[in-house]
Structure 1
Amino acid sequence: MTATAPTRAAALAPIASAERILTLDALRGLALLGILLMNVESFTASMLDAGSGIDPRQARWDWLADGFVYLFIQGKFWTLFALLFGMGFAAMSERARAAGTDFLPLYLRRVVGLLAIGLVHALLIWSGDILVCYALAAFALLAFRNAPLGALWPIGGTLNLMIAAMLLLGTLATFVAGDLIADAGSGAADRALRASEVAAYARGSYAEATAMRVRYFFGPGMAGLMVFVPMALGLFAIGTWFVRSGAIVEPQRYRRFYSVLLWAVGPLGLAITLAGLVIDSEPLLIDSGMGGSDMLGATLQTLGAPLMSLGYLAALVRVLQRGARWPLAFGPAGRMALTLYLMQSVAGTLLFYGYGLGLWGEVSRAPQVLGACVFFALQLAFARWWLARFRYGPMEWLWRWFTYARRPVLLKG
């Protein structure tokens, strides 16, 4: 016992920098940039308008920026991030399995820690949180931790197809009974909620904004979790396959597989997304004007996003296999993804909300996108500076401390 205990403890310690998978760090960094490009619009508009398509009334550059984000970014990078979260949880599970220890207590502490961070983020900082969704999906992932390797793709695909089928049924119902839905009074409720958001976020105090965040979380936020948690769970299952199969660690053994993702799955996702764009480039999902074309356009966007994210993953793996080093420049951001994600929300709300600089609704899409890129470049520089001195980002350090029930060494020796 005395001979094996140190080995097992070391195996379950926070992972050292030399052991990290550089591809995962690069992917996380790029995904973090995509998430910021997607989220910046929702820092300065109602959360009910998130993902509402391309506004044709904008100036040319704003329209182009809006179209680029909607087509190539919207929905694609939170799904990529979900794949990466699944890979991270699976990697921890594999390390625990190799150490011959019970992974469950460690896993539960990690997920509870993530849920706590997500709740603080959603209720006290910004309503667009995704961490609560990831934490709930991670709890559910326990049901599949002993699933055979060959079952993980069918599980992941089925869960995402179930959500697509549910949305398509909603689309059909909207086509058939659109007038009944329009007359049900939901439009007035949506408009009232949007007006409350604008009042609280654009002009309200921090206390008023926080009260609105709580109201949103227990209203539309809960409804959104019913859709996004199963999607995230499916993506977690697929991410688990990438780790357990060795496809992310030894991609050279899976060249044909990555070629299929790059040249078939990714383009299929783009084709589905383009079809949704042709059907309705500005889907209206609230108010009494919602129709079948709105629902179908948004449904196709939701269906195409995870396919495109798999294509993005394959493209980056292929680029790295061919010797390109530029993706690795995003690695420091990937190692501090949780810290930088929360930092984005703090900065975005302080810039646009009434209790900050109060720029709500005053910055159009092109400057939003440009500003997001500049801010991310500053974040990347900060991450490099920080990691030259410390082993972990500040939030990653706290999360590891809670997970492993002992304080990790923060300063580099």
Structure 2
Amino acid sequence: MEKPLEKHGRVDVVDVLRGLAVMGIILLHSIEHFNFYSYPDTAGRSVWLAFSDKAIWDGLFFLLGGKAYAVFALLFGFSFFIQYDNQRLRGRDFRLRFCWRLILLFLIGNLNASFFTGEVLVLYSLVGFILPLVCRLKDKTIFWLACILLIQPLPLYYTVRACFDPSFVVPALPTGSFWNATSEAQAHGTFWQTLRVNLWEGQLFSLAWAWDNGRVFQTAALFLFGYLAGRKGLFLKENLKIWNKVLCGALVAFFPLYGLGNMLPAFVENPSLRTPLLLIITSLSKFSFMLLLVAAVISAFYRTNLHNLLSQIIPYGKMSLTNYITQSIVGSMLFYNWGFGLHCHLGITASFLVGIVLFFLQYFFCRWWLKHHTHGPMEYLWKRATWLK
């Protein structure tokens, strides 16, 4: 009898990483009031509360800002590898089916965007088409393409041009009217007014912001690195030594990049040179720190007594799509005018505590749900719709 081909199963540490990333995203979105930067009057508040607000804001953004999202993007590329290679083992070509899956993700992302303007699923659905285009290339080709995208080729061009042309002005997409429209709807709009504005002006602002801030190139690079990590089996225990090297390299790279990013504004006066150059440096800095976090979690999961503790978040990571969308719905309801309007009552510290409560509510729901089902609600719908005949 012919031996059946084995398929790639779930990798627990990937669900841990995915769960931690979504948890970090929820905490960041909570203190941002879900892209609605409106807070109560701080006059007369205690010194301790002011200290707490600043410590939480600066600490969370240093630890997670631009990194939690990056982990999420890295694992998106890894998930594509698992799906693509499992179908390859069955003799099927998954590329067109994945394109259909991206179209579905675009629809899911727009559902999410109608509640929260800062969501990333629509961006993923658009940038994700790079994966079926390059998935049959050699490892080295994909690696160097990812590196080129990571160093932000368009801002790099702007930097070089500004060096030789003092009159050059970095182009930026006009987003002021979009931002003003979404802020007005969040502050005063009804439920339907807010959804309409979020879905149009809010999405245009979000995509324009992603373009101007290098997220498009960085997301594509992370997708490719995640795909390569799947090809090489880097998330498996037998490749732990590679992550030890990554950890050391990320430590060496991060601190000079972070320091240079903080120093640069004081030494480069020309904004057309400073802006793209700072974008490149901060992008690489956050990428280095993201690798540091990923390597640290993988090492802790496979080598330390934290394995059992980290394993507790696996159910949360398995339902990351459900958690990501429901936090947008709940966050919009909590802070926007159409809901409870808590933006003018909760400061940063209180909003951080709200984020923790929201995380634990989702966490315990995930544990209960997965005792009775194999997939989260949104994960199940996305999977079933993917394989519609």
Matches within 5 A, 1:61-80: 61-80=52-71
Give the TM-score taking structure 1 as reference length. 0.79
Give the TM-score taking structure 2 as reference length. 0.84
Greater shift, 271-280 or 126-135, is seen at: 271-280
Deviation digits for residues 184-223 of structure 1 (CA, Å, limit 9, x no counterpart): 9x7xx73x55443332102211222123213424532332
Partner of 1:228: 215
Deviation digits for residues 72-111 of structure 1 (CA, Å, limit 9, x no counterpart): 1110011110000100011111111111112123222222
Partner of 2:288: 307
Measured in 2, the distance between the counterparts of 1:273 and 1:234 equals: 20
Measured in 2, the distance between the counterparts of 1:33 and 1:401 equals: 26
Would the aligned equivalents of 1:160 and 1:234 in 2 still touch at CA under 8 Å? yes
Whether 1:146 and 2:136 are equivalent positions in the alignment is yes
1:276 CA displacement? 2.8
| Matching residue within 239, 243, 246 for 1:261 | 246
> Structure 1 residues 313, 181: closer, same or farther in 2, change over 3 A?
closer
Q: Which amino acid aligns with 2:302?
A: Q
Matches within 5 A, 1:313-324: 313-323=294-304, 324=307
Partner of 1:285: none
| Matching residue within 97, 106, 109 for 1:115 | 106
1:177 CA displacement? 6.0
| Matching residue within 89, 92, 107 for 1:101 | 92
Measured in 1, the distance between the counterparts of 2:151 and 2:100 equals: 31
Task: For structure 2, list consecutive stretches of 5 or more residues without a partner in the other structure.
Answer: 39-48
Task: For structure 1, list consecutive stretches of 5 or more residues without a partner in the other structure.
Answer: 49-57, 282-289, 407-413
| Matching residue within 36, 40, 47 for 2:30 | 40
Partner of 1:355: 338
1:135 CA displacement? 1.3
Partner of 1:202: 187
Measured in 1, the distance between the counterparts of 2:158 and 2:251 equals: 21
Partner of 1:90: 81
Would the aligned equivalents of 1:204 and 1:355 in 2 still touch at CA under 8 Å? yes
> Structure 1 residues 307, 402: closer, same or farther in 2, change over 3 A?
same
Secondary structure class of the residue paired with 1:395: helix
| Matching residue within 146, 149, 154 for 1:159 | 149
1:117 CA displacement? 0.4
1:326 CA displacement? 1.4
RMSD of aligned alpha carbons = 3.3
Whether 1:247 and 2:237 are equivalent positions in the alignment is no
Deviation digits for residues 347-400 of structure 1 (CA, Å, limit 9, x no counterpart): 110000000001124322222223212221221111101101111100001001
Greater shift, 162-171 or 59-68, is seen at: 162-171
Measured in 2, the distance between the counterparts of 1:295 and 1:225 equals: 14
> Structure 1 residues 321, 158: closer, same or farther in 2, change over 3 A?
same
Whether 1:390 and 2:380 are equivalent positions in the alignment is no
1:156 CA displacement? 1.4
Would the aligned equivalents of 1:276 and 1:299 in 2 still touch at CA under 8 Å? no
Partner of 1:272: 257
Deviation digits for residues 304-328 of structure 1 (CA, Å, limit 9, x no counterpart): 1122111111111111221422111
Measured in 2, the distance between the counterparts of 1:164 and 1:369 equals: 36
